[in-house]
Amino acid sequence: MKAVVQRVTRASVTVGGEQISAIGRGICVLLGISLEDTQKELEHMVRKILNLRVFEDESGKHWSKSVMDKQYEVLCVSQFTLQCVLKGNKPDFHLAMPAEQAESFYKGFLEQLRKTYRPELVKDGKFGAYMQVHIQNDGPVTIELESPAPGAAASDPKQLSKLEKQQQRKEKTRAKGPSESSKERSAPRKEDRSASSGAEGDVSSEREP
Protein backbone atom coordinates (compact mmCIF):
# COMPACT_ATOMS: atom_id res chain seq x y z
CA MET A 1 0.00 0.00 0.00
CA LYS A 2 1.25 3.44 -0.92
CA ALA A 3 0.09 6.86 0.22
CA VAL A 4 0.99 10.41 -0.69
CA VAL A 5 0.22 12.70 2.24
CA GLN A 6 0.04 16.44 1.64
CA ARG A 7 -0.29 19.09 4.31
CA VAL A 8 -3.03 21.44 3.15
CA THR A 9 -4.78 24.66 4.09
CA ARG A 10 -7.79 23.35 2.18
CA ALA A 11 -8.71 20.60 -0.27
CA SER A 12 -11.81 19.41 -2.08
CA VAL A 13 -13.14 16.81 -4.53
CA THR A 14 -15.43 17.60 -7.46
CA VAL A 15 -17.29 15.01 -9.54
CA GLY A 16 -19.26 16.04 -12.64
CA GLY A 17 -18.96 19.70 -11.73
CA GLU A 18 -20.35 19.14 -8.22
CA GLN A 19 -18.23 19.43 -5.09
CA ILE A 20 -18.76 16.29 -3.01
CA SER A 21 -16.15 16.72 -0.26
CA ALA A 22 -14.10 19.53 1.23
CA ILE A 23 -11.82 20.12 4.20
CA GLY A 24 -10.00 23.07 5.73
CA ARG A 25 -6.62 22.78 7.39
CA GLY A 26 -5.34 19.22 7.61
CA ILE A 27 -3.99 16.53 5.28
CA CYS A 28 -5.01 15.18 1.90
CA VAL A 29 -4.21 11.49 1.42
CA LEU A 30 -3.93 9.85 -2.02
CA LEU A 31 -4.06 6.10 -1.46
CA GLY A 32 -2.88 3.32 -3.79
CA ILE A 33 -3.89 -0.25 -2.89
CA SER A 34 -1.84 -3.18 -4.17
CA LEU A 35 -2.76 -6.78 -4.97
CA GLU A 36 -0.93 -8.09 -1.92
CA ASP A 37 -2.37 -5.73 0.69
CA THR A 38 -4.05 -7.26 3.73
CA GLN A 39 -5.59 -6.03 6.98
CA LYS A 40 -2.09 -5.83 8.42
CA GLU A 41 -0.96 -3.30 5.79
CA LEU A 42 -4.22 -1.40 6.20
CA GLU A 43 -3.76 -0.97 9.95
CA HIS A 44 -0.10 -0.03 9.50
CA MET A 45 -0.97 2.72 7.04
CA VAL A 46 -3.76 4.13 9.21
CA ARG A 47 -1.35 4.41 12.15
CA LYS A 48 1.31 6.08 10.01
CA ILE A 49 -1.04 8.61 8.45
CA LEU A 50 -2.68 9.69 11.69
CA ASN A 51 0.58 9.91 13.62
CA LEU A 52 2.68 11.58 10.90
CA ARG A 53 4.10 14.77 12.43
CA VAL A 54 3.83 17.39 9.71
CA PHE A 55 2.51 20.28 11.81
CA GLU A 56 4.17 22.68 14.20
CA ASP A 57 3.39 22.92 17.90
CA GLU A 58 2.14 25.90 19.87
CA SER A 59 5.66 27.32 20.17
CA GLY A 60 6.22 27.15 16.42
CA LYS A 61 8.48 24.08 16.47
CA HIS A 62 8.21 22.28 13.14
CA TRP A 63 7.46 18.57 12.63
CA SER A 64 6.07 18.24 16.15
CA LYS A 65 2.36 17.51 15.83
CA SER A 66 0.18 15.07 13.91
CA VAL A 67 -3.24 15.66 12.40
CA MET A 68 -4.73 13.94 15.47
CA ASP A 69 -2.76 16.15 17.85
CA LYS A 70 -4.09 19.26 16.10
CA GLN A 71 -7.60 17.85 15.57
CA TYR A 72 -7.45 18.84 11.89
CA GLU A 73 -9.34 17.25 9.00
CA VAL A 74 -8.40 14.39 6.65
CA LEU A 75 -9.44 14.04 3.01
CA CYS A 76 -8.82 10.59 1.48
CA VAL A 77 -8.88 9.87 -2.24
CA SER A 78 -8.36 6.41 -3.74
CA GLN A 79 -5.70 6.55 -6.46
CA PHE A 80 -4.73 3.25 -8.09
CA THR A 81 -2.17 5.01 -10.31
CA LEU A 82 0.22 5.07 -7.33
CA GLN A 83 0.76 1.36 -8.04
CA CYS A 84 2.09 2.21 -11.51
CA VAL A 85 4.99 0.33 -13.09
CA LEU A 86 6.44 1.81 -16.27
CA LYS A 87 6.88 -0.37 -19.35
CA GLY A 88 9.03 1.93 -21.37
CA ASN A 89 7.03 5.14 -21.23
CA LYS A 90 3.64 3.49 -20.77
CA PRO A 91 2.14 3.17 -17.26
CA ASP A 92 1.10 -0.35 -16.27
CA PHE A 93 -1.18 -0.98 -13.30
CA HIS A 94 -1.13 -4.77 -12.92
CA LEU A 95 0.13 -4.41 -9.34
CA ALA A 96 -3.00 -2.49 -8.31
CA MET A 97 -5.82 -4.39 -6.62
CA PRO A 98 -8.76 -5.01 -9.02
CA ALA A 99 -11.54 -2.42 -8.70
CA GLU A 100 -14.24 -4.61 -7.12
CA GLN A 101 -11.90 -5.98 -4.48
CA ALA A 102 -10.20 -2.61 -3.97
CA GLU A 103 -13.49 -0.81 -3.32
CA SER A 104 -14.31 -3.09 -0.41
CA PHE A 105 -10.75 -2.78 0.90
CA TYR A 106 -10.85 1.01 0.60
CA LYS A 107 -14.12 1.17 2.55
CA GLY A 108 -12.44 -0.90 5.26
CA PHE A 109 -9.55 1.57 5.27
CA LEU A 110 -11.91 4.53 5.74
CA GLU A 111 -13.77 2.67 8.48
CA GLN A 112 -10.52 2.00 10.34
CA LEU A 113 -9.42 5.61 9.89
CA ARG A 114 -12.69 6.93 11.30
CA LYS A 115 -12.68 4.40 14.12
CA THR A 116 -9.16 5.41 15.14
CA TYR A 117 -9.74 9.15 14.76
CA ARG A 118 -12.94 11.25 14.70
CA PRO A 119 -15.48 10.15 12.04
CA GLU A 120 -16.71 13.68 11.38
CA LEU A 121 -13.21 14.86 10.52
CA VAL A 122 -12.53 12.18 7.86
CA LYS A 123 -13.84 12.91 4.35
CA ASP A 124 -13.33 11.04 1.08
CA GLY A 125 -13.87 11.26 -2.66
CA LYS A 126 -15.95 8.90 -4.79
CA PHE A 127 -14.34 5.54 -5.48
CA GLY A 128 -13.93 4.77 -9.18
CA ALA A 129 -15.26 8.14 -10.33
CA TYR A 130 -13.48 10.65 -12.55
CA MET A 131 -12.60 13.31 -9.98
CA GLN A 132 -11.03 16.72 -9.87
CA VAL A 133 -9.04 16.98 -6.67
CA HIS A 134 -8.26 20.54 -5.65
CA ILE A 135 -5.36 20.74 -3.20
CA GLN A 136 -3.86 23.85 -1.69
CA ASN A 137 -0.58 22.41 -0.43
CA ASP A 138 0.79 24.18 2.63
CA GLY A 139 4.57 24.58 2.51
CA PRO A 140 4.59 22.69 0.23
CA VAL A 141 4.82 19.56 2.36
CA THR A 142 4.39 16.18 0.66
CA ILE A 143 5.31 12.86 2.31
CA GLU A 144 5.34 9.45 0.61
CA LEU A 145 4.42 6.46 2.75
CA GLU A 146 4.63 2.76 1.91
CA SER A 147 3.59 -0.16 4.07
CA PRO A 148 6.10 -3.00 4.58
CA ALA A 149 5.80 -5.59 1.81
CA PRO A 150 3.94 -8.70 2.99
CA GLY A 151 6.48 -11.27 4.17
CA ALA A 152 9.37 -8.82 4.14
CA ALA A 153 11.69 -9.33 7.08
CA ALA A 154 12.29 -6.51 9.48
CA SER A 155 11.06 -3.62 7.38
CA ASP A 156 10.24 -1.73 10.55
CA PRO A 157 13.11 0.51 11.75
CA LYS A 158 12.87 -0.93 15.28
CA GLN A 159 13.26 -4.44 13.92
CA LEU A 160 16.19 -3.35 11.76
CA SER A 161 17.81 -1.83 14.84
CA LYS A 162 17.42 -5.10 16.73
CA LEU A 163 19.01 -7.05 13.89
CA GLU A 164 21.88 -4.58 13.66
CA LYS A 165 22.56 -4.92 17.39
CA GLN A 166 22.49 -8.70 17.14
CA GLN A 167 24.94 -8.56 14.25
CA GLN A 168 27.23 -6.22 16.20
CA ARG A 169 27.25 -8.63 19.17
CA LYS A 170 28.17 -11.50 16.87
CA GLU A 171 31.02 -9.49 15.36
CA LYS A 172 32.34 -8.56 18.81
CA THR A 173 32.24 -12.21 19.85
CA ARG A 174 34.24 -13.18 16.77
CA ALA A 175 36.76 -10.41 17.42
CA LYS A 176 37.36 -11.61 20.99
CA GLY A 177 37.97 -15.13 19.82
CA PRO A 178 37.03 -18.26 21.76
CA SER A 179 36.28 -17.85 25.46
CA GLU A 180 38.63 -19.07 28.18
CA SER A 181 36.37 -21.98 29.00
CA SER A 182 36.27 -23.07 25.36
CA LYS A 183 40.06 -22.77 25.18
CA GLU A 184 40.36 -25.04 28.17
CA ARG A 185 38.01 -27.58 26.64
CA SER A 186 39.78 -27.52 23.30
CA ALA A 187 43.36 -27.58 24.70
CA PRO A 188 45.04 -31.05 24.56
CA ARG A 189 45.58 -32.65 27.95
CA LYS A 190 49.16 -33.19 29.07
CA GLU A 191 50.08 -36.67 30.11
CA ASP A 192 51.31 -37.32 33.62
CA ARG A 193 54.53 -39.14 32.79
CA SER A 194 55.33 -39.90 36.38
CA ALA A 195 52.03 -41.70 36.73
CA SER A 196 52.42 -43.64 33.51
CA SER A 197 56.11 -44.59 33.91
CA GLY A 198 56.31 -44.84 37.67
CA ALA A 199 59.43 -42.66 37.62
CA GLU A 200 59.72 -40.14 40.40
CA GLY A 201 61.06 -36.62 39.96
CA ASP A 202 60.18 -36.37 36.25
CA VAL A 203 59.27 -32.74 35.80
CA SER A 204 59.28 -32.65 32.00
CA SER A 205 55.59 -31.73 32.00
CA GLU A 206 56.36 -28.55 33.93
CA ARG A 207 59.04 -27.22 31.55
CA GLU A 208 58.36 -24.20 29.43
CA PRO A 209 57.92 -25.05 25.74
Distances (CA, A) of 134 to 11, 33, 121, 175, 207: 5, 21, 18, 59, 91
Per the structure, the complete domain to which residue 60 belongs is given by 2-146
Structural domains in the chain (count): 1
The yes-or-no verdict on residue 2 having pLDDT over 90 is: yes
Split at pLDDT 50, 70, 90, the class of 86 is very high
Per-residue burial over 146-178, b = 16 or more CB atoms within 10 Å of its CB, e = otherwise: bbeeeeeeeeeeeeeeeeeeeeeeeeeeeeeee
Side chain identity at 188, as an amino acid letter?
Answer: P
pLDDT digits (tens, 9 = 90+) for 59-78: 999 999 999 999 999 999 99
pLDDT digits (tens, 9 = 90+) for 103-157: 999 999 999 999 999 999 999 999 999 999 999 999 999 999 999 876 554 445 5
Residue 169 within any structural domain of the chain: no
Residue 83 within any structural domain of the chain: yes
CATH number reported for the structural domain that contains residue 110 in this entry: 3.50.80.10
pTM beyond cutoff 0.75: no
Which pLDDT score, from 0 to 100, does residue 149 have? 74
The yes-or-no verdict on residue 200 having pLDDT over 60 is: no
